[in-house]
Structure 1
Amino acid sequence: MEPWLWLGLFILVAYTVEAVTGFGSIVIALSLGTLMLPMSEVLVVLVPLNIFMSGYLTLRHRRFIHKPTLLRVILPLMAAGTLAGYLLRPALGDTVSKMLFGALIIWFASRELWLMWRAQAREAHPRWLTRLLVGGAGVTHGLFASGGPLLVYALAGASLDKARFRATLVCVWFCLNSLLTLVFLLDGSLLPALPRVLWYMPLLVAGVVLGEWLHRHTNEQRFRQIVYVLLLFTGASLIVAGSR
């Protein structure tokens, strides 16, 4: 099958997972897509596509956004980190980027599986470490548009209820992916990719509809375990592919 058709399937799977669990659209689609296509070509499709979902969710849940955390901590540090990561990506090259992304995925998936197995609560970090990790999350977002794993780890123990935490994170992705899309427009890579972005839009909608159905009819805990195991194998595949 043509690689771009495979990417369509991966996008459908990724947005289905996000609708069920609330995370993972870019992480999953990018990790699977870069097994067949250059990371830079996949990113310029996935990032603008994500704006539609994150923008809709930001608007829908705007009353739950915790503005002090968003404006004082996350956005300043992550915006700077995102630009740094974007500038660093060409120096790393596609091969090293794939290996680093694979390592990030393996760390994230194995950590989540460990916490689920131990039923362990997330402990809060010291303030200085939280800010350092948030900046690092920005760098990984600039490199891979996947700052979520490190940001969730950075905000461990944050005194936000589930609704505020989710709404704040969704707003972060909308802001940062809008920034990255603007950068792609300025560097000339966005316009050639727009036809594919539009072609994949119906798959985003289908994934959300399917995911909402699965959310009502499946065990979310077991579903998450399956997704994390899939991510472990995908991360390992990226490292092996990059080392050849």
Structure 2
Amino acid sequence: MLDVLSSPWALVALFVLLAYTTEAMTGFGSIVIALSLSALVLPLEVLMPVLVPLNLVLSGYLTLRYRRLVHWRLLLTGILPMMALGTLAGFVLRPALGPGAQWLFGALVVAFSVRELWRLRRARPAAAHGPLWSRFWMLMAGLTHGLFASGGPLLVYALGGVQLDKSRFRATLVLVWFSLNLLLTAGFLLNGALRAQWPHLLALVPVVLVGIVLGEALHHRVDEHRFRQVLFSVLLVAGLALLVH
């Protein structure tokens, strides 16, 4: 029987708890948080076949519970077509990155964290993009999702200026992740990457369930501005560590 408390999976379990509590609160961030922190102790190619299917537990639950809040027009005519195309391209291109994958992922995390911390410090609302730029950034979000299962940062940027309340925004995003991560999980099944990671995947499912309970409880109780400041500061440090790891 797998001992998930043995190092380094004990650290991965802690990172997964933080990451999935965050996504249950805000609607995005589970994989980019878990992957950026866990990549300090395990390779990306080991982590992705575990973290991507794990997200199906959270995003599937939230999708079923909040399906009536989903902005279907935005999802079906804007987000999913562009992101699905980018995700397929990223999945095909990822093996070609080789050892450079970790450095590229670290650079992405640093850039995202710096941008978010700057925006939070200035307390300015996100600026709206034109239709073409929005679709371009959705495509890029799909590409980073296919490469690192971390399309959330660019998708949130692409949706800058979209007028949705917090609950509808979260419901729409989690359905995006459920759809795209189902696609990636099928890819991991086909290429055999998932088969070797089944024990770790099953051992971490209870951690995700705890994260769901915590995130749901904290969704309306936590000062999201302060929480995001702390979170992106941690991600910035993790991204910098990945660049020199």
Q: CA 1:65/1:143 → structure 2, altered by over 3 Å: closer, same or farther? A: same
1:8 paired residue among 5, 13, 31: 13
Alpha-carbon distance in 2 for matches of 1:27, 1:78: 16
Q: Does 1:67 align with 2:72?
A: yes
Q: CA 1:64/1:36 → structure 2, altered by over 3 Å: closer, same or farther? A: same
Q: Which structure carries more helix by proportion?
A: 1
Counterpart residue number, 2:151: 147
TM (normalized to structure 2)?
Answer: 0.92
Which string of whole-angstrom CA distances, capped at 9 and with x for unpartnered residues, describes residues 170-197 of structure 1?
Answer: 1000000000001111111112212211
Once the two structures are TM-superposed, the CA of residue 115 in structure 1 deviates from its matched residue by 1.4
Q: CA 1:67/1:215 → structure 2, altered by over 3 Å: closer, same or farther? A: closer
- Comparing 232-241 with 16-25, which one deviates more in the overlay? 16-25
Counterpart residue number, 1:135: 139
Alpha-carbon distance in 2 for matches of 1:87, 1:145: 13
Asked if the contact 2:86–2:146 (Cα under 8 Å) also holds between the matched residues in 1, the reply is yes
Once the two structures are TM-superposed, the CA of residue 213 in structure 1 deviates from its matched residue by 4.8
Once the two structures are TM-superposed, the CA of residue 122 in structure 1 deviates from its matched residue by 0.9
Alpha-carbon distance in 2 for matches of 1:121, 1:17: 21
- Comparing 211-220 with 119-128, which one deviates more in the overlay? 211-220
Q: Secondary structure at the match of 1:61?
A: helix
Counterpart residue number, 1:46: 51
Q: Does 1:195 align with 2:199?
A: yes
Q: Does 1:164 align with 2:161?
A: no
2:227 paired residue among 223, 228, 241: 223
Amino acid at match of 2:61: Y
Which string of whole-angstrom CA distances, capped at 9 and with x for unpartnered residues, describes residues 88-129 of structure 1?
Answer: 111101x31111111111121111111111111111111111
Unaligned 5+ segments in structure 2 are 1-5
Q: CA 1:75/1:215 → structure 2, altered by over 3 Å: closer, same or farther? A: closer
Which string of whole-angstrom CA distances, capped at 9 and with x for unpartnered residues, describes residues 48-70 of structure 1?
Answer: 00001101111111111111211
Give the RMSD, CA atoms, in angstroms: 1.6
2:102 paired residue among 95, 98, 101: 98
Alpha-carbon distance in 1 for matches of 2:83, 2:211: 28
Alpha-carbon distance in 2 for matches of 1:22, 1:87: 27
TM (normalized to structure 1)?
Answer: 0.92
Unaligned 5+ segments in structure 1 are none
Alpha-carbon distance in 1 for matches of 2:219, 2:202: 26
Which string of whole-angstrom CA distances, capped at 9 and with x for unpartnered residues, describes residues 1-48 of structure 1?
Answer: 622222112112222333344432111110011111110110000000
Counterpart residue number, 2:244: 240
